[in-house]
């Protein structure tokens, strides 16, 4: 069965700390990978995406993610978080069909 796992359900960090959110998927074929962000009270917005090529992708607001095929992972990183990064983050995977599967999300709380 398709699955996307986000290991951290709730993360609390202080401003300027570094961030890494884990995402693993189970499909062994060609994948398209996404990270979305949902700020409080808002809809999902795309942070970054991976289709092919350079496995290190850069997105908006200083976020980046690295696709490691051998580990079935697509972890999200940011070197220095800000209070405004408080949000819920979702990893999502397309496995060659016409839909994507979302992880259960990670709530990130940044302390000022």
The nearer residue to another protein, 42 or 80, going by C-beta atoms, is 42
Q: Which residues pair with 34 in a beta bridge?
A: 49, 92
* Residue from 16, 46, 60, 68 binding another protein (CB under 8 A): 46
Q: Which residues pair with 24 in a beta bridge?
A: 5, 73
- How far is the C-alpha of 2 from the C-alpha of 23, rounded, in Å? 14
CA neighbor of 100 nearest in space, from 91, 89, 109, 87: 91
Q: How many residues belong to the site for another protein (CB under 8 A)?
A: 23
Q: How far is the CB of 38 from another protein (least distance, A)?
A: 9
Binding of another protein by 59 (CB under 8 A): no
Binding of another protein by 67 (CB under 8 A): no
Helix (H, G, I), strand (E, B) or coil at 13: strand
Helix (H, G, I), strand (E, B) or coil at 8: coil
* Residue from 8, 13, 22, 32 binding another protein (CB under 8 A): 32
The residue assigned the tokens 């693993």 is 24
Q: How far is the CB of 1 from another protein (least distance, A)?
A: 10
Binding site for another protein (CB under 8 A): 9, 30, 32, 34, 42-46, 49, 51-52, 90, 94, 96, 98-105
């Amino acid at each position: 069965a398709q699955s996307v796992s986000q290991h951290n359900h709730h993360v609390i960090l202080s401003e300027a700390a570094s961030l890494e959110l884990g995402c693993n998927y189970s499909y062994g074929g060609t994948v398209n990978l996404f990270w979305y962000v949902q700020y409080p009270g808002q809809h999902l917005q795309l942070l970054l995406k991976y289709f092919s090529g350079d496995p290190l992708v850069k997105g908006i607001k200083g976020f980046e993610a690295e696709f490691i095929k051998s580990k079935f992972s697509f972890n999200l990183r940011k070197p220095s978080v800000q209070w405004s990064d408080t949000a819920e983050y979702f990893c999502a995977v397309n496995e060659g069909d016409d839909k994507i599967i979302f992880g259960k999300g990670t709530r990130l709380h940044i302390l000022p």
